[in-house]
Chains A and B, each alone.
Chain A
Amino acid sequence: DQQVKQNSPSLSVQEGRISILNCDYTNSMFDYFLWYKKYPAEGPTFLISISSIKDKNEDGRFTVFLNKSAKHLSLHIVPSQPGDSAVYFCAAYAGTYKYIFGTGTRLKVLA
Chain B
Amino acid sequence: DTGVSQDPRHKITKRGQNVTFRCDPISEHNRLYWYRQTLGQGPEFLTYFQNEAQLEKSRLLSDRFSAERPKGSFSTLEIQRTEQGDSAMYLCASSPRGPDEQYFGPGTRLTVT
Bound together: yes
Q: Give the tally of cross-chain contacts (CB within 8 A).
A: 59
* Interface presence of A89 (CB below 8 A): yes
* Interface presence of B85 (CB below 8 A): no
Q: Number of A interface residues at 8 Å Cβ cutoff, please give it.
A: 25
The segment from B64-72, B74-82, B100-108 found at the interface with A is B100-108
Closest A residue, CB atoms, query B56: A97
Whole-angstrom distance between the alpha carbons of A93 and B99 in the complex?
7
Q: Identify A96's interface contact among B56, B102, B106, CB under 8 A.
A: B56
Contact between A43 and B42, CB atoms less than 8 A apart: no
A-B contact pairs, 13 of them (CB 8 A): A34-B102, A42-B106, A43-B93, A44-B91, A46-B101, A46-B103, A49-B100, A49-B101, A91-B42, A97-B55, A97-B56, A98-B48, A98-B56
Chain B interface residues toward A at CB < 8 A: 4, 31, 33, 35, 40-45, 48, 50, 55-56, 58, 91, 93, 98-107
